[in-house]
Chain A
Amino acid sequence: MKQTEKLLYEQSEQAREAWLSGLLGEEEAPEHAFPENFLEETQRRLVQSTEQSGRSRYLPAIAAGILIAAAVLFVSVRFWGKEPTVPPMNGETGIQIAELATTETETAEPQPVTTAAEEITASDDAEETEKHGAVGGTGSRAQAKLEAINGLKLRWAAMKKDMETKTLEEFIGLYPEMAEHYQEFYDMLHTTNRFLKINPIYLWINPEDPEAEDGNILLFGSCWQDLLPEGSEPEPGWEWMYEPMYDIRFVYYFNEADGSLTLLKTLYVGDDLMRDFTFQVQTAPWYTDMTDPENPRTITIDRETFYSIKNDGTVQKEAEFDLSETYLDTTVHPEKTVYISHEETEEQYLELWKAHGGQYGEIELGELNWEFLE
Protein backbone atom coordinates (compact mmCIF):
# COMPACT_ATOMS: atom_id res chain seq x y z
CA MET A 1 0.00 0.00 0.00
CA LYS A 2 1.26 3.43 -0.85
CA GLN A 3 2.38 5.58 2.05
CA THR A 4 -0.28 8.22 1.43
CA GLU A 5 -3.02 5.61 1.43
CA LYS A 6 -1.73 4.14 4.66
CA LEU A 7 -1.65 7.59 6.18
CA LEU A 8 -5.18 8.26 5.04
CA TYR A 9 -6.50 5.07 6.56
CA GLU A 10 -4.70 5.79 9.81
CA GLN A 11 -5.62 9.44 10.11
CA SER A 12 -9.09 9.57 8.63
CA GLU A 13 -10.90 9.17 11.93
CA GLN A 14 -8.97 12.00 13.54
CA ALA A 15 -9.45 14.08 10.42
CA ARG A 16 -13.18 13.51 10.60
CA GLU A 17 -13.32 14.55 14.24
CA ALA A 18 -11.17 17.61 13.55
CA TRP A 19 -13.49 18.67 10.76
CA LEU A 20 -16.69 17.98 12.67
CA SER A 21 -15.48 19.87 15.72
CA GLY A 22 -14.64 22.76 13.44
CA LEU A 23 -18.21 22.80 12.19
CA LEU A 24 -19.95 23.37 15.49
CA GLY A 25 -17.49 22.83 18.27
CA GLU A 26 -19.17 21.31 21.28
CA GLU A 27 -22.45 23.03 20.53
CA GLU A 28 -25.56 21.35 19.23
CA ALA A 29 -26.98 22.57 15.94
CA PRO A 30 -29.71 25.13 16.53
CA GLU A 31 -33.25 23.81 16.32
CA HIS A 32 -34.82 24.32 12.92
CA ALA A 33 -38.55 24.17 12.29
CA PHE A 34 -38.90 22.12 9.12
CA PRO A 35 -42.25 22.19 7.34
CA GLU A 36 -44.68 19.72 8.90
CA ASN A 37 -44.71 17.30 5.95
CA PHE A 38 -40.99 17.59 5.20
CA LEU A 39 -40.15 13.94 5.77
CA GLU A 40 -43.23 12.68 3.93
CA GLU A 41 -42.42 14.93 1.01
CA THR A 42 -38.84 13.67 0.97
CA GLN A 43 -40.02 10.06 0.94
CA ARG A 44 -42.50 10.81 -1.82
CA ARG A 45 -39.73 12.35 -3.92
CA LEU A 46 -37.52 9.39 -3.21
CA VAL A 47 -40.15 6.94 -4.48
CA GLN A 48 -40.72 9.12 -7.51
CA SER A 49 -37.05 9.30 -8.44
CA THR A 50 -36.64 5.55 -7.97
CA GLU A 51 -39.54 4.87 -10.31
CA GLN A 52 -38.24 7.28 -12.92
CA SER A 53 -34.81 5.78 -12.77
CA GLY A 54 -36.23 2.28 -13.27
CA ARG A 55 -38.28 3.31 -16.27
CA SER A 56 -35.55 5.18 -18.06
CA ARG A 57 -32.73 2.75 -17.52
CA TYR A 58 -32.92 0.82 -20.78
CA LEU A 59 -34.65 3.22 -23.12
CA PRO A 60 -31.61 5.32 -24.05
CA ALA A 61 -29.55 2.26 -24.88
CA ILE A 62 -32.23 0.82 -27.16
CA ALA A 63 -32.86 4.13 -28.87
CA ALA A 64 -29.15 4.73 -29.22
CA GLY A 65 -28.58 1.33 -30.79
CA ILE A 66 -31.27 1.84 -33.40
CA LEU A 67 -30.53 5.41 -34.24
CA ILE A 68 -26.79 5.13 -34.27
CA ALA A 69 -26.86 2.27 -36.75
CA ALA A 70 -29.30 4.21 -38.92
CA ALA A 71 -27.38 7.44 -38.71
CA VAL A 72 -24.04 5.81 -39.32
CA LEU A 73 -25.23 4.11 -42.46
CA PHE A 74 -26.97 7.23 -43.57
CA VAL A 75 -23.86 9.29 -43.18
CA SER A 76 -21.72 6.57 -44.69
CA VAL A 77 -23.79 6.41 -47.84
CA ARG A 78 -24.06 10.11 -48.29
CA PHE A 79 -20.47 10.80 -47.55
CA TRP A 80 -18.84 8.08 -49.43
CA GLY A 81 -16.21 9.22 -51.80
CA LYS A 82 -13.95 11.05 -49.39
CA GLU A 83 -11.55 8.15 -49.75
CA PRO A 84 -10.83 7.89 -53.46
CA THR A 85 -9.59 4.31 -53.21
CA VAL A 86 -12.82 2.87 -51.79
CA PRO A 87 -16.05 2.58 -53.78
CA PRO A 88 -19.42 3.52 -52.23
CA MET A 89 -21.63 0.97 -50.49
CA ASN A 90 -25.12 -0.09 -51.44
CA GLY A 91 -27.20 3.01 -51.85
CA GLU A 92 -30.68 1.53 -51.57
CA THR A 93 -30.21 0.27 -48.03
CA GLY A 94 -28.66 3.53 -47.00
CA ILE A 95 -31.56 5.56 -48.37
CA GLN A 96 -34.11 3.42 -46.55
CA ILE A 97 -32.29 3.86 -43.30
CA ALA A 98 -31.81 7.53 -43.94
CA GLU A 99 -35.57 7.87 -44.18
CA LEU A 100 -35.99 6.05 -40.90
CA ALA A 101 -33.48 8.35 -39.24
CA THR A 102 -35.28 11.41 -40.54
CA THR A 103 -38.61 10.16 -39.22
CA GLU A 104 -37.16 9.49 -35.78
CA THR A 105 -35.65 12.93 -35.59
CA GLU A 106 -38.84 14.65 -36.64
CA THR A 107 -40.84 12.83 -34.00
CA ALA A 108 -38.53 14.05 -31.29
CA GLU A 109 -38.33 17.62 -32.53
CA PRO A 110 -41.15 19.24 -34.51
CA GLN A 111 -38.81 21.74 -36.17
CA PRO A 112 -36.60 20.07 -38.78
CA VAL A 113 -33.05 19.95 -37.54
CA THR A 114 -30.19 19.32 -39.86
CA THR A 115 -26.97 17.94 -38.55
CA ALA A 116 -23.63 19.43 -39.38
CA ALA A 117 -23.01 16.22 -41.29
CA GLU A 118 -26.04 16.85 -43.48
CA GLU A 119 -24.94 20.38 -44.19
CA ILE A 120 -21.49 19.22 -45.15
CA THR A 121 -23.00 16.44 -47.22
CA ALA A 122 -25.35 18.74 -49.09
CA SER A 123 -22.54 20.97 -50.17
CA ASP A 124 -20.35 18.05 -51.11
CA ASP A 125 -22.92 15.86 -52.85
CA ALA A 126 -22.60 17.16 -56.38
CA GLU A 127 -18.85 17.01 -56.33
CA GLU A 128 -18.80 13.56 -54.76
CA THR A 129 -21.23 12.16 -57.29
CA GLU A 130 -19.22 13.54 -60.11
CA LYS A 131 -16.03 12.12 -58.71
CA HIS A 132 -17.27 8.64 -57.88
CA GLY A 133 -20.44 8.15 -59.86
CA ALA A 134 -23.88 7.44 -58.42
CA VAL A 135 -24.15 5.86 -55.00
CA GLY A 136 -24.67 2.16 -55.37
CA GLY A 137 -23.00 -1.14 -55.98
CA THR A 138 -21.54 -3.44 -53.37
CA GLY A 139 -18.02 -3.36 -52.05
CA SER A 140 -16.00 -6.11 -50.45
CA ARG A 141 -16.13 -6.76 -46.71
CA ALA A 142 -13.03 -4.70 -46.25
CA GLN A 143 -14.46 -1.83 -48.19
CA ALA A 144 -17.77 -1.97 -46.38
CA LYS A 145 -15.99 -1.94 -43.07
CA LEU A 146 -13.85 0.99 -43.99
CA GLU A 147 -16.97 2.74 -45.14
CA ALA A 148 -18.68 2.13 -41.83
CA ILE A 149 -15.64 3.44 -40.00
CA ASN A 150 -15.65 6.55 -42.11
CA GLY A 151 -19.30 6.98 -41.25
CA LEU A 152 -18.41 6.93 -37.58
CA LYS A 153 -15.67 9.46 -38.11
CA LEU A 154 -17.98 11.81 -39.89
CA ARG A 155 -20.69 11.40 -37.33
CA TRP A 156 -18.25 12.34 -34.60
CA ALA A 157 -16.96 15.34 -36.47
CA ALA A 158 -20.54 16.49 -37.00
CA MET A 159 -21.34 15.91 -33.35
CA LYS A 160 -18.55 18.22 -32.32
CA LYS A 161 -19.85 20.96 -34.56
CA ASP A 162 -23.50 20.43 -33.61
CA MET A 163 -22.69 20.63 -29.95
CA GLU A 164 -21.73 24.23 -30.40
CA THR A 165 -24.61 25.29 -32.59
CA LYS A 166 -27.73 23.28 -31.66
CA THR A 167 -29.99 23.61 -28.66
CA LEU A 168 -29.78 20.85 -26.11
CA GLU A 169 -33.08 19.35 -27.29
CA GLU A 170 -31.95 19.38 -30.89
CA PHE A 171 -28.62 17.87 -30.02
CA ILE A 172 -30.08 15.02 -27.99
CA GLY A 173 -32.58 14.38 -30.78
CA LEU A 174 -29.73 13.97 -33.20
CA TYR A 175 -27.35 12.06 -30.94
CA PRO A 176 -29.47 10.11 -28.45
CA GLU A 177 -26.51 7.99 -27.40
CA MET A 178 -25.11 11.07 -25.68
CA ALA A 179 -28.31 11.93 -23.83
CA GLU A 180 -27.19 10.40 -20.58
CA HIS A 181 -23.99 12.38 -20.37
CA TYR A 182 -24.45 15.46 -22.35
CA GLN A 183 -26.54 17.60 -20.03
CA GLU A 184 -23.67 18.59 -17.79
CA PHE A 185 -21.35 19.31 -20.69
CA TYR A 186 -23.99 21.31 -22.43
CA ASP A 187 -24.80 23.31 -19.31
CA MET A 188 -21.17 24.08 -18.89
CA LEU A 189 -20.78 25.07 -22.49
CA HIS A 190 -23.69 27.46 -22.46
CA THR A 191 -23.82 28.84 -18.95
CA THR A 192 -20.18 29.47 -18.23
CA ASN A 193 -17.33 31.23 -19.84
CA ARG A 194 -15.74 27.97 -20.81
CA PHE A 195 -15.99 25.75 -23.77
CA LEU A 196 -15.72 22.09 -24.28
CA LYS A 197 -13.43 20.30 -26.60
CA ILE A 198 -14.01 16.82 -27.88
CA ASN A 199 -11.10 14.79 -28.98
CA PRO A 200 -12.41 11.90 -30.94
CA ILE A 201 -10.40 8.75 -31.07
CA TYR A 202 -11.11 6.12 -33.63
CA LEU A 203 -9.88 2.68 -33.00
CA TRP A 204 -10.70 -0.43 -34.79
CA ILE A 205 -9.43 -3.89 -35.01
CA ASN A 206 -7.09 -5.03 -37.60
CA PRO A 207 -7.48 -2.26 -40.14
CA GLU A 208 -5.13 -3.85 -42.60
CA ASP A 209 -6.57 -7.32 -42.41
CA PRO A 210 -10.32 -6.91 -42.54
CA GLU A 211 -10.78 -10.43 -43.82
CA ALA A 212 -9.72 -11.78 -40.45
CA GLU A 213 -12.44 -13.84 -38.87
CA ASP A 214 -12.68 -11.91 -35.65
CA GLY A 215 -12.16 -8.50 -37.03
CA ASN A 216 -15.73 -7.38 -36.69
CA ILE A 217 -15.64 -5.44 -33.46
CA LEU A 218 -15.09 -1.77 -33.87
CA LEU A 219 -14.05 0.44 -31.06
CA PHE A 220 -14.87 4.06 -31.37
CA GLY A 221 -14.13 6.54 -28.69
CA SER A 222 -13.86 10.09 -27.65
CA CYS A 223 -12.18 12.04 -24.98
CA TRP A 224 -13.96 15.05 -23.57
CA GLN A 225 -12.01 17.95 -22.38
CA ASP A 226 -13.16 21.15 -20.84
CA LEU A 227 -10.94 24.08 -21.66
CA LEU A 228 -10.53 27.43 -20.09
CA PRO A 229 -10.39 30.61 -22.10
CA GLU A 230 -6.85 31.86 -22.41
CA GLY A 231 -5.64 33.61 -19.31
CA SER A 232 -8.42 32.31 -17.04
CA GLU A 233 -8.03 30.27 -13.92
CA PRO A 234 -10.25 27.33 -13.09
CA GLU A 235 -12.84 27.90 -10.43
CA PRO A 236 -11.71 26.21 -7.21
CA GLY A 237 -13.08 22.73 -7.03
CA TRP A 238 -13.56 22.41 -10.75
CA GLU A 239 -9.94 21.97 -11.70
CA TRP A 240 -10.52 18.35 -12.56
CA MET A 241 -12.65 19.38 -15.48
CA TYR A 242 -9.67 20.84 -17.25
CA GLU A 243 -7.98 17.62 -18.01
CA PRO A 244 -8.98 15.08 -20.57
CA MET A 245 -10.95 12.60 -18.54
CA TYR A 246 -14.27 11.69 -20.06
CA ASP A 247 -13.04 8.80 -22.02
CA ILE A 248 -15.87 7.07 -23.78
CA ARG A 249 -15.72 3.97 -25.90
CA PHE A 250 -18.48 2.78 -28.13
CA VAL A 251 -18.13 -0.84 -29.08
CA TYR A 252 -19.87 -1.77 -32.30
CA TYR A 253 -20.48 -5.01 -34.03
CA PHE A 254 -19.96 -4.78 -37.73
CA ASN A 255 -22.32 -6.96 -39.73
CA GLU A 256 -20.45 -8.00 -42.80
CA ALA A 257 -23.57 -9.16 -44.61
CA ASP A 258 -25.22 -5.78 -44.83
CA GLY A 259 -22.50 -3.41 -43.70
CA SER A 260 -24.49 -2.27 -40.68
CA LEU A 261 -23.16 -1.40 -37.27
CA THR A 262 -24.80 -2.30 -34.00
CA LEU A 263 -23.84 -0.57 -30.82
CA LEU A 264 -22.92 -3.30 -28.35
CA LYS A 265 -21.70 -1.32 -25.41
CA THR A 266 -20.84 2.12 -24.25
CA LEU A 267 -17.88 2.09 -21.92
CA TYR A 268 -16.44 4.75 -19.71
CA VAL A 269 -13.05 4.83 -18.18
CA GLY A 270 -13.63 4.70 -14.47
CA ASP A 271 -16.94 2.97 -14.82
CA ASP A 272 -17.84 -0.48 -13.65
CA LEU A 273 -19.20 -1.20 -17.08
CA MET A 274 -15.61 -1.86 -17.99
CA ARG A 275 -15.82 -4.98 -15.95
CA ASP A 276 -18.52 -6.34 -18.21
CA PHE A 277 -16.47 -5.84 -21.28
CA THR A 278 -16.64 -9.31 -22.66
CA PHE A 279 -14.37 -8.87 -25.60
CA GLN A 280 -10.68 -8.93 -25.69
CA VAL A 281 -9.96 -6.05 -27.95
CA GLN A 282 -6.57 -5.34 -29.31
CA THR A 283 -6.69 -2.04 -30.96
CA ALA A 284 -4.72 -0.66 -33.79
CA PRO A 285 -1.75 1.32 -32.63
CA TRP A 286 -2.95 4.55 -34.03
CA TYR A 287 -6.01 6.62 -34.39
CA THR A 288 -7.08 9.81 -36.00
CA ASP A 289 -7.43 12.95 -34.00
CA MET A 290 -10.37 14.87 -35.38
CA THR A 291 -10.01 17.82 -33.06
CA ASP A 292 -9.85 19.82 -36.20
CA PRO A 293 -12.07 17.96 -38.67
CA GLU A 294 -10.56 19.87 -41.54
CA ASN A 295 -7.10 18.63 -40.68
CA PRO A 296 -7.32 15.18 -39.13
CA ARG A 297 -4.04 13.90 -37.77
CA THR A 298 -2.89 10.36 -37.44
CA ILE A 299 -1.33 9.89 -34.05
CA THR A 300 0.71 7.13 -32.54
CA ILE A 301 0.57 6.33 -28.87
CA ASP A 302 3.29 4.62 -26.90
CA ARG A 303 1.94 1.57 -25.22
CA GLU A 304 -1.28 -0.07 -24.36
CA THR A 305 -1.89 -3.00 -22.08
CA PHE A 306 -4.89 -5.20 -21.71
CA TYR A 307 -5.85 -7.50 -18.90
CA SER A 308 -8.59 -10.02 -18.85
CA ILE A 309 -10.56 -11.50 -15.99
CA LYS A 310 -11.10 -15.15 -16.58
CA ASN A 311 -14.26 -16.92 -15.66
CA ASP A 312 -12.54 -18.40 -12.62
CA GLY A 313 -11.84 -14.89 -11.37
CA THR A 314 -8.14 -14.77 -12.07
CA VAL A 315 -6.70 -11.69 -13.67
CA GLN A 316 -4.27 -12.09 -16.45
CA LYS A 317 -2.21 -9.69 -18.42
CA GLU A 318 -3.20 -10.39 -21.98
CA ALA A 319 -1.14 -8.16 -24.09
CA GLU A 320 1.13 -5.22 -24.02
CA PHE A 321 1.59 -3.27 -27.15
CA ASP A 322 4.54 -1.32 -28.17
CA LEU A 323 2.49 1.12 -30.11
CA SER A 324 5.42 2.55 -31.91
CA GLU A 325 5.28 -0.56 -34.03
CA THR A 326 2.42 -1.70 -36.15
CA TYR A 327 0.44 -4.33 -34.36
CA LEU A 328 -2.12 -6.12 -36.37
CA ASP A 329 -3.15 -9.25 -34.54
CA THR A 330 -6.81 -9.55 -33.71
CA THR A 331 -8.61 -11.77 -31.27
CA VAL A 332 -11.98 -11.79 -29.60
CA HIS A 333 -12.22 -13.82 -26.45
CA PRO A 334 -15.26 -14.53 -24.31
CA GLU A 335 -13.38 -13.65 -21.12
CA LYS A 336 -14.09 -10.45 -19.39
CA THR A 337 -11.52 -7.89 -20.21
CA VAL A 338 -10.35 -4.85 -18.35
CA TYR A 339 -9.30 -2.01 -20.47
CA ILE A 340 -6.48 -0.13 -18.83
CA SER A 341 -6.13 3.13 -20.57
CA HIS A 342 -4.73 5.92 -18.47
CA GLU A 343 -3.42 6.78 -15.07
CA GLU A 344 -6.78 6.98 -13.32
CA THR A 345 -7.38 3.36 -14.02
CA GLU A 346 -4.68 2.43 -11.57
CA GLU A 347 -7.38 2.96 -8.97
CA GLN A 348 -9.87 0.98 -10.97
CA TYR A 349 -7.47 -1.81 -11.40
CA LEU A 350 -6.61 -1.84 -7.75
CA GLU A 351 -10.27 -2.23 -6.86
CA LEU A 352 -10.69 -4.91 -9.44
CA TRP A 353 -7.59 -6.70 -8.38
CA LYS A 354 -8.62 -6.61 -4.73
CA ALA A 355 -12.06 -7.87 -5.65
CA HIS A 356 -10.41 -10.88 -7.16
CA GLY A 357 -8.26 -11.57 -4.16
CA GLY A 358 -5.08 -10.13 -5.57
CA GLN A 359 -2.48 -7.99 -3.97
CA TYR A 360 -1.75 -4.49 -5.02
CA GLY A 361 1.55 -4.01 -6.72
CA GLU A 362 1.81 -7.35 -8.38
CA ILE A 363 0.78 -6.17 -11.75
CA GLU A 364 2.39 -3.69 -13.95
CA LEU A 365 -0.11 -1.17 -15.16
CA GLY A 366 -0.40 -0.02 -18.68
CA GLU A 367 -0.73 3.61 -19.49
CA LEU A 368 -1.72 5.54 -22.49
CA ASN A 369 0.21 8.58 -23.35
CA TRP A 370 -2.28 11.40 -23.31
CA GLU A 371 0.12 14.08 -24.37
CA PHE A 372 -1.43 14.15 -27.78
CA LEU A 373 -4.22 16.22 -26.35
CA GLU A 374 -2.01 19.11 -25.55
Chain B
Amino acid sequence: MTTLEEIYRTYGNLMFYVANQILNNRQDAEDMVQEALIRLAGVLDRIEDVNSGKTRSLVCLTVEHKAIDLYRRKKRQTVLPFDLEDTDDLYIQGSNEIDALVERNTIAQVIASLPANYREILLLKYDNGFSEKEIAALLGMKQAAVYKTMQRARKKLEGIWKEMEGVK
Protein backbone atom coordinates (compact mmCIF):
# COMPACT_ATOMS: atom_id res chain seq x y z
CA MET B 1 0.00 0.00 0.00
CA THR B 2 1.14 3.52 -0.72
CA THR B 3 2.44 5.39 2.30
CA LEU B 4 2.02 8.99 3.27
CA GLU B 5 5.76 9.39 2.99
CA GLU B 6 5.70 8.26 -0.64
CA ILE B 7 3.01 10.81 -1.40
CA TYR B 8 4.99 13.50 0.33
CA ARG B 9 8.28 12.60 -1.35
CA THR B 10 6.67 12.35 -4.78
CA TYR B 11 4.29 15.29 -4.66
CA GLY B 12 5.37 17.57 -1.80
CA ASN B 13 6.81 20.20 -4.14
CA LEU B 14 3.82 20.08 -6.46
CA MET B 15 1.38 20.32 -3.58
CA PHE B 16 3.18 23.33 -2.21
CA TYR B 17 3.23 24.92 -5.64
CA VAL B 18 -0.54 24.46 -6.09
CA ALA B 19 -1.33 25.81 -2.61
CA ASN B 20 1.06 28.72 -2.90
CA GLN B 21 -0.38 29.75 -6.26
CA ILE B 22 -3.70 30.28 -4.49
CA LEU B 23 -2.56 31.58 -1.12
CA ASN B 24 0.64 33.38 -2.02
CA ASN B 25 1.87 32.74 1.50
CA ARG B 26 4.56 30.20 2.31
CA GLN B 27 3.36 29.37 5.83
CA ASP B 28 -0.28 28.99 4.80
CA ALA B 29 0.68 26.90 1.79
CA GLU B 30 2.73 24.54 3.95
CA ASP B 31 -0.17 24.27 6.39
CA MET B 32 -2.51 23.31 3.57
CA VAL B 33 -0.07 20.72 2.27
CA GLN B 34 -0.13 19.24 5.74
CA GLU B 35 -3.93 19.37 5.89
CA ALA B 36 -4.17 17.72 2.50
CA LEU B 37 -1.73 14.96 3.48
CA ILE B 38 -3.83 14.23 6.55
CA ARG B 39 -6.94 13.95 4.39
CA LEU B 40 -5.12 11.78 1.87
CA ALA B 41 -4.08 9.41 4.65
CA GLY B 42 -7.70 8.26 4.71
CA VAL B 43 -7.62 7.06 1.10
CA LEU B 44 -4.12 5.58 0.84
CA ASP B 45 -5.55 2.13 0.33
CA ARG B 46 -7.26 3.39 -2.82
CA ILE B 47 -4.00 4.50 -4.41
CA GLU B 48 -2.64 1.78 -6.64
CA ASP B 49 0.22 3.57 -8.33
CA VAL B 50 1.78 6.54 -6.63
CA ASN B 51 3.22 7.81 -9.93
CA SER B 52 0.03 7.60 -11.96
CA GLY B 53 -1.83 10.56 -13.40
CA LYS B 54 -4.81 9.67 -11.22
CA THR B 55 -2.74 9.99 -8.07
CA ARG B 56 -1.16 13.20 -9.24
CA SER B 57 -4.62 14.59 -9.89
CA LEU B 58 -5.92 13.36 -6.54
CA VAL B 59 -3.22 15.11 -4.52
CA CYS B 60 -3.53 18.30 -6.54
CA LEU B 61 -7.32 18.40 -6.22
CA THR B 62 -7.12 17.80 -2.49
CA VAL B 63 -4.56 20.47 -1.76
CA GLU B 64 -6.28 22.89 -4.11
CA HIS B 65 -9.55 22.40 -2.25
CA LYS B 66 -7.92 22.99 1.11
CA ALA B 67 -6.12 26.10 -0.15
CA ILE B 68 -9.26 27.63 -1.65
CA ASP B 69 -11.13 26.89 1.56
CA LEU B 70 -8.49 28.73 3.57
CA TYR B 71 -8.46 31.56 1.11
CA ARG B 72 -12.22 32.00 1.41
CA ARG B 73 -12.09 31.83 5.19
CA LYS B 74 -9.42 34.49 5.29
CA LYS B 75 -11.24 36.59 2.79
CA ARG B 76 -14.25 36.72 5.07
CA GLN B 77 -12.13 37.86 7.97
CA THR B 78 -9.84 40.36 6.28
CA VAL B 79 -9.53 42.25 3.07
CA LEU B 80 -6.92 40.45 1.04
CA PRO B 81 -4.65 42.27 -1.36
CA PHE B 82 -6.13 40.66 -4.43
CA ASP B 83 -9.29 38.88 -5.42
CA LEU B 84 -9.21 35.15 -5.95
CA GLU B 85 -11.83 35.48 -8.64
CA ASP B 86 -9.21 37.32 -10.66
CA THR B 87 -7.05 34.26 -10.71
CA ASP B 88 -9.66 31.61 -10.13
CA ASP B 89 -10.81 29.10 -12.65
CA LEU B 90 -12.45 30.10 -15.84
CA TYR B 91 -16.16 30.60 -15.39
CA ILE B 92 -17.83 29.62 -18.57
CA GLN B 93 -20.75 31.91 -19.11
CA GLY B 94 -20.31 34.17 -22.11
CA SER B 95 -20.77 33.12 -25.70
CA ASN B 96 -17.12 33.90 -26.49
CA GLU B 97 -15.95 31.26 -24.08
CA ILE B 98 -18.41 28.78 -25.49
CA ASP B 99 -17.21 29.53 -29.01
CA ALA B 100 -13.64 29.03 -27.88
CA LEU B 101 -14.51 25.69 -26.38
CA VAL B 102 -16.34 24.62 -29.48
CA GLU B 103 -13.18 25.47 -31.38
CA ARG B 104 -11.27 23.08 -29.20
CA ASN B 105 -14.18 20.74 -29.60
CA THR B 106 -13.73 18.67 -26.53
CA ILE B 107 -15.87 18.15 -23.50
CA ALA B 108 -12.72 17.26 -21.57
CA GLN B 109 -11.56 20.84 -21.93
CA VAL B 110 -14.87 22.01 -20.58
CA ILE B 111 -14.62 19.77 -17.55
CA ALA B 112 -11.06 20.93 -16.96
CA SER B 113 -12.20 24.54 -17.16
CA LEU B 114 -15.10 24.27 -14.73
CA PRO B 115 -14.92 26.14 -11.43
CA ALA B 116 -12.63 24.40 -8.99
CA ASN B 117 -15.35 23.01 -6.73
CA TYR B 118 -17.17 21.45 -9.68
CA ARG B 119 -14.06 20.09 -11.33
CA GLU B 120 -12.72 18.63 -8.09
CA ILE B 121 -15.85 16.67 -7.36
CA LEU B 122 -16.39 15.48 -10.93
CA LEU B 123 -12.83 14.25 -11.32
CA LEU B 124 -12.78 12.57 -7.93
CA LYS B 125 -16.01 10.80 -8.78
CA TYR B 126 -15.60 9.88 -12.41
CA ASP B 127 -11.82 9.70 -12.80
CA ASN B 128 -10.70 8.49 -9.39
CA GLY B 129 -13.85 6.46 -8.77
CA PHE B 130 -14.50 7.73 -5.28
CA SER B 131 -17.94 7.50 -3.74
CA GLU B 132 -19.73 10.60 -2.49
CA LYS B 133 -18.94 9.53 1.03
CA GLU B 134 -15.24 9.24 0.29
CA ILE B 135 -15.22 12.60 -1.47
CA ALA B 136 -16.94 14.20 1.51
CA ALA B 137 -14.32 12.79 3.87
CA LEU B 138 -11.44 13.74 1.59
CA LEU B 139 -12.55 17.32 1.04
CA GLY B 140 -14.01 17.85 4.49
CA MET B 141 -17.50 18.51 3.19
CA LYS B 142 -20.90 17.32 4.24
CA GLN B 143 -22.03 14.48 2.07
CA ALA B 144 -25.18 16.41 1.24
CA ALA B 145 -23.01 19.23 -0.02
CA VAL B 146 -21.10 16.82 -2.25
CA TYR B 147 -24.37 15.62 -3.76
CA LYS B 148 -25.56 19.14 -4.29
CA THR B 149 -22.30 20.34 -5.82
CA MET B 150 -22.11 17.31 -8.07
CA GLN B 151 -25.64 17.85 -9.27
CA ARG B 152 -24.89 21.49 -10.03
CA ALA B 153 -21.67 20.58 -11.81
CA ARG B 154 -23.45 18.10 -14.03
CA LYS B 155 -26.20 20.58 -14.72
CA LYS B 156 -23.66 23.19 -15.71
CA LEU B 157 -21.83 20.73 -17.90
CA GLU B 158 -25.08 19.67 -19.57
CA GLY B 159 -25.93 23.30 -20.22
CA ILE B 160 -22.57 24.02 -21.80
CA TRP B 161 -22.68 20.83 -23.80
CA LYS B 162 -26.10 21.65 -25.20
CA GLU B 163 -24.95 25.14 -26.06
CA MET B 164 -21.91 23.75 -27.80
CA GLU B 165 -24.09 21.40 -29.79
CA GLY B 166 -26.27 24.34 -30.76
CA VAL B 167 -23.29 26.40 -31.92
CA LYS B 168 -22.06 23.51 -34.04
Q: Which 10 A-B pairs have the closest CB atoms?
A: A14-B108, A270-B144, A15-B111, A12-B127, A18-B112, A19-B112, A12-B126, A29-B14, A29-B17, A15-B108
| A92: min CB distance to chain B, Å | 42
Residues A23 and B18 in contact, CB atoms below 8 Å apart: yes
Could you mark each residue 181-194 of chain A with 1 if its beta carbon is under 8 Å from any beta carbon of chain B, else 0?
10000000001100
Which B-chain residue is minimally distant from A32 (CB atoms)?
A: B16
Residues from chain A with Cβ under 8 Å of B46 in the complex: none
How many residues of B sit at the interface, in one of the four size bands? 35 or more
| A28: min CB distance to chain B, Å | 8
B105 interface contact, C-beta 8 A: no
| A196: min CB distance to chain B, Å | 14
Residues B154 and A8 in contact, CB atoms below 8 Å apart: yes
Q: Taking A20-B56, A238-B72, A343-B151 as given, write out 9 further A-B residue pairs in contact, using a Cβ cutoff of 8 Å, ordered by the A residue number.
A: A12-B108, A12-B123, A15-B123, A19-B119, A24-B17, A31-B13, A32-B13, A39-B4, A181-B142
Residues A8 and B38 in contact, CB atoms below 8 Å apart: no
11 inter-chain pairs at a CB distance below 8 angstroms, sorted by A residue, are A4-B154, A19-B123, A20-B56, A24-B14, A35-B30, A38-B34, A268-B144, A270-B142, A271-B143, A348-B132, A351-B132
Residues from chain B with Cβ under 8 Å of A23 in the complex: 18, 60
Residues B38 and A46 in contact, CB atoms below 8 Å apart: yes
Could you mark each residue 67-78 of chain B with 1 if its beta carbon is under 8 Å from any beta carbon of chain A, else 0?
010001000110
Residues from chain A with Cβ under 8 Å of B127 in the complex: 12-13, 15-16
Q: With A15-B123, A236-B115, A243-B148 known to touch, is A29 a contact of B161 (CB < 8 Å)?
A: no
Residues A8 and B56 in contact, CB atoms below 8 Å apart: no
A362 interface contact, C-beta 8 A: no
Residues B126 and A344 in contact, CB atoms below 8 Å apart: no
| A355: min CB distance to chain B, Å | 10
Residues B143 and A30 in contact, CB atoms below 8 Å apart: no
Residues from chain A with Cβ under 8 Å of B123 in the complex: 12, 15-16, 19
Residues from chain A with Cβ under 8 Å of B142 in the complex: 181, 246, 268, 270
Report how far A8 CA is from B16 CA in the complex, Å: 29
Could you mark each residue 85-98 of chain B with 1 if its beta carbon is under 8 Å from any beta carbon of chain A, else 0?
10010010000000
Q: Could you tell me which residues of chain A, from 220 to 249, have a CB within 8 Å of some CB in chain B?
A: 235-240, 243, 245-247
B145 interface contact, C-beta 8 A: yes
Residues B41 and A4 in contact, CB atoms below 8 Å apart: no
A169 interface contact, C-beta 8 A: no
| A370: min CB distance to chain B, Å | 13
Residues from chain B with Cβ under 8 Å of A8 in the complex: 111, 122, 125-126, 154, 157
> Contact check: which of B17, B131, B144 meets A32 at CB < 8 Å?
B17
B158 interface contact, C-beta 8 A: yes
> Contact check: which of A4, A7, A19, A247 meets B57 at CB < 8 Å?
A19
| B130: min CB distance to chain A, Å | 12
Residues B34 and A11 in contact, CB atoms below 8 Å apart: no
Residues from chain A with Cβ under 8 Å of B145 in the complex: 240, 245
Which A-chain residue is minimally distant from B157 (CB atoms)?
A: A4
> Contact check: which of B12, B117, B125 meets A34 at CB < 8 Å?
B12
Report how far A268 CA is from B147 CA in the complex, Å: 12
Report how far A16 CA is from B131 CA in the complex, Å: 18
A269 interface contact, C-beta 8 A: yes
Residues from chain B with Cβ under 8 Å of A114 in the complex: none
A17 interface contact, C-beta 8 A: yes
